[in-house]
Amino acid sequence: MAQADFEEVVEDFEFLEDWEDRYRMVIEMGKAMPPMENALKVPATKVEGCASQVWLHMTPEAGAFHFQGDSDALIVKGLIALLHRLYDGLPMADVSAVDARAELGRLGLNEHLSAQRSNGLRAMIERIRKEAGT
C-alpha cells in the first residue's frame, strides 16, 4: 500500500546494486527536503528514542495526513524523507494500513541500519501512527 512517490524510490533502488550508492541516495533525499522552521523544533515535536535529534510536525489537512521533519543527522533526515514519501498525503484513515517496516524492508534497510538507527526509525513510525490517530 505504498504511495507512488515511494514506489519510485523502490524502483530507483533496484537499479543501484551497491548499498553505498543506496545510502548516498537516502542522504540526498534528506538534503532535498525543505527545511523545517526552527520555531517548530520544540519539545512537543521532538521524537524520543532516536540517537539523533529528530523533529516531526504533523499537519492534517482536509482529512489528509501531512508532516514535516528534520534531523541533525544526514542519514536520519534521509529516513524522514523516505517516511514522507510513504505517508504524506494519505487519507488519515489509511495511515494505519501502511506496514512501514515491510515497505522499508523492500529497500533493504533492515539489514543496513544500526540498531540505534532502527530504534529511531521505529520511534518515528510510532509517532506518525500516533499523531494520525491510528
What does the pLDDT read at residue 61?
87
Name the residue among 77, 78, 107, 75 with its Cα closest to residue 2: 107
What does the pLDDT read at residue 134?
56
What does the pLDDT read at residue 2?
55
Task: Please identify every residue annotated as catalytic.
Answer: 50
What does the pLDDT read at residue 90?
93
Q: What cell does 6 get?
A: 515511494
Average pLDDT per 10 consecutive residues for the chain, totaling 134 residues: 82 88 94 94 93 92 92 94 94 91 87 86 94 78
